[in-house]
Structure 1
Amino acid sequence: MASEIRFEPGLYRGTAECYDRFRLPYPDTMIADLVRRTAPSRHGRLLDLACGTGQLTFPLRTWFADVWSVDAEPGMTEVVRAKANACCAGIRTITVGAEDLHAEPGTFELIVIGNAFHRLARALVAQRAHGWLRPGGFLALCWSTGPWAGPRNWQRALDGILRRWQNSLGASGRVPAGWDEARKQDPDHDVLSRAGFEPAGHHEFFVEHHWTIPELAGYIRSTSFLPLPVLADHADDFDTDLAAVLGSFAPDGRLTETIGYAYELTRKPAAL
């Protein structure tokens, strides 16, 4: 069994504004599919663990009487709280790491983790999530691909830009080397199975999106590897470089990506 890779705390400090503005929402088709498969009672409680700025909290909130939005980064929970105060009741924000959250057994009908399970102490969080769920409750690991990860020429060029700037700013170590190898050797579904979860399916969705270069610049500022605090006084130079390199791929000002979304659904066995 591979040892867990440790991500340093605070990697998303200073990203909340860009995260909320430039991260794309999960598609409505995926949210509807997740709701259909988990069949919330509308009287239960949802836990959005490592919630970011609420990309799962807000589209799922109407299906639950109570929602806990939990993130270790204060900036993220501040944004969720502000949005909730403006539009929604029944959303409780908690600033704490997933590993340190306290909840009573059987508290939740559904737990969702968006683009974050790999950053957590997976075995510990899976074990604790199993206890937090009511019998028959669900855990969904939700994912989306990044714009640098695809096969298009502009995406390969973007990946090269990001690597070059990470190296030049001394930021290449912010994401631990080999972070994905641990997940390949000990996949998420095996971690969840050892914690007592039953598999309930892997579900994928694809959406075509058209980026502008300024939107991509904003998205990069929402990442853990080149956030605005890392770019700092070099942010304008980065934007100029990004526009110069990617401009040749976007004669109409748009860069097309097919974004892959997915969720891995697991279930705590119902009580006998």
Structure 2
Amino acid sequence: MAKTPSTPPSWPVRPGYSEDLFRGAAEYYSRYRPAYPQPLFDDLLNRAGEGGVLVDLACGTGEIAIPLHIRFAHVYAVDLEPDMIEVGRAKADQAGATNITWSTGMAEDLTVTEPAQLVTIGNAYHRLDRPMIAERARQWLASDGCLAILGSSTPWSGTEPWQAVAVDVVARWSGEPGRPASASPATAESNAPARRTHEEILQEAGFLDVTEYRFPTPHAWTVDEFLGFLWSTSYTARIRQDPALAEEFEKDLRAQLLKCEPSGQLRESIAHYYILGRNPDPARR
């Protein structure tokens, strides 16, 4: 479904994230990230088309590439983190997904030599050089092909009481009150970097019909599952990389979550979405 009118989030045009934020997170990422719902994939391919080539940038452990491999002749999947690629390859082998080419490296450095029907980016566009990626995608895509930015809401944007508790605990242990551990340091307004929404970046690059489509999905976590999800994120990067700190953090978070929700069932509605932009077809001008 298309989104209701709202103010979309914006990010600095040039990202400033550390390259090691997901080091050691691949197994958690593969096991605990909620899957994109099938209705989202079906809707996306109905609008963007299928067959031919899919290019999946910042692919993680294959959360897009593997489910969609049967709908394309060939899939190119690239991620900066070697562990993500290793786990993705293993999952693809188990799924019989033999038409995926996996590579380790920066999305900005990828070479695509055949026209793509679809370029996807899942939960990572804000970490890339967005103007460069939008320009490259225009070059990679066939006429009338599409760029799709997929994502999901996080506890930091949720309104459930247990989410507020989790955000507070992570903030205390990460040493970054009120901000995810992966965020760039606060900057004086006069020196703040230029910011754009994903939609603005795509429109400025020349994509047409840029629209966001949302698929809210009820979800229930156990405390263990939610901890696994947190370890898969950049929010806990500094904690995850210190085993002693991680152990104490887990104890605190478990206690606070169970105090807030004694049943241990953490319920929410995850706002899965995709933003679609269409490469102009010269024949339609």
TM-score norm. by structure 1 comes to 0.91
Q: Is the 8 A contact 2:53 2:118 kept in 1?
A: yes
Shift of the alpha carbon at 1:174? Answer: 3.5
Contact 1:189 1:199 survives alignment (8 Å): no
Deviations 1:207-264 (A, max 9, x none): 1111111111111111113146424222221111111101023222201111101111
Aligned residues: 267
Aligned partner (choices 118, 121, 124) of residue 116 of structure 1: 124
Cα deviation for residue 184 of structure 1 reads 8.7
Q: Residue in 1 aligned with 2:201?
A: 191
1:103 matched to 2:117: no
- Give the fraction of aligned pairs with identical amino acids, expressed as a percent: 37
- CA positional deviation for 1:164: 0.3
Distance 1:188 1:99 in 2: 17
Alignment deviations for residues 83-140 of structure 1 (CA, whole Å, 9 cap, x no partner): 1222211011011111111123x52110110011100011111101110111110000
Say yes or no: does 1:138 pair with 2:146. yes
Residue deviations 1:53-91, cap 9 Å, x none?
111111211110100111011011111111122221101
Aligned-partner residue type, residue 112 of structure 1: T
CA–CA distance in structure 2, aligned partners of residues 36 and 260 of structure 1: 20
1:143–1:28 distance in 2 versus 1, CA, 3 Å:
same
Name which of 52, 60, 71 aligns with 2:60. Answer: 52
Q: Specify whether residues 149 and 173 from structure 1 end up closer, same or farther in structure 2 by C-alpha distance, changes over 3 A only.
A: closer
In 2, the alpha carbon distance for the partners of 1:260 and 1:218 equals: 19
2:97 alignment partner in structure 1:
88
CA distance in 2, matches of 1:194, 1:253: 46
The equivalent of 1:262 in structure 2 is 273
Letter in 1 for 2:123: N
Judge conservation of contact 1:200–1:266 (CA < 8 Å) in 2.
Answer: yes
Q: Are the equivalent residues in 1 in contact too, given 2:240–2:246 (CA < 8 A)?
A: no
Give the whole-Å Cα distance in 2 for the aligned partners of 1:183 and 1:51. 27
Aligned pair 1:242/2:244, yes or no?
Answer: no
Q: CA RMSD in A?
A: 2.4
Is 1:220 the counterpart of 2:230 in the alignment? yes
- Higher mean C-alpha deviation, range 9-18 or range 80-89: 80-89
Distance (Å, rounded) in 2 between the aligned partners of 1:172 and 1:266: 28
Deviations 1:18-61 (A, max 9, x none): 00011010011111111111121x2x010110011111111211
1:72 to 2:80 alignment: yes
Contact 1:249 1:255 in 2 (8 A): no
Shift in Å, 1:148? 3.7
Q: Which amino acid aligns with 2:78?
A: V
Q: Distance in 1 between matches of 2:21 and 2:202?
A: 25
Point out the more displaced range, 69-78 or 224-233: 224-233
Which residue of the partner structure matches residue 211 of structure 2?
A: 201
Query: Which of structure 1's runs of 4+ aligned residues deviate more than 3 A?
Result: 171-174, 181-185
1:80/1:258 CA distance change after superposition, 3 Å: same
Counterpart code for 1:261: H
Whether 1:32 and 2:42 are equivalent positions in the alignment is: yes
Equivalent-residue separation in structure 2 for 1:193 and 1:128 (angstroms): 14
Distance 1:233 1:192 in 2: 43
Give the Å deviation of 1:17. 0.5
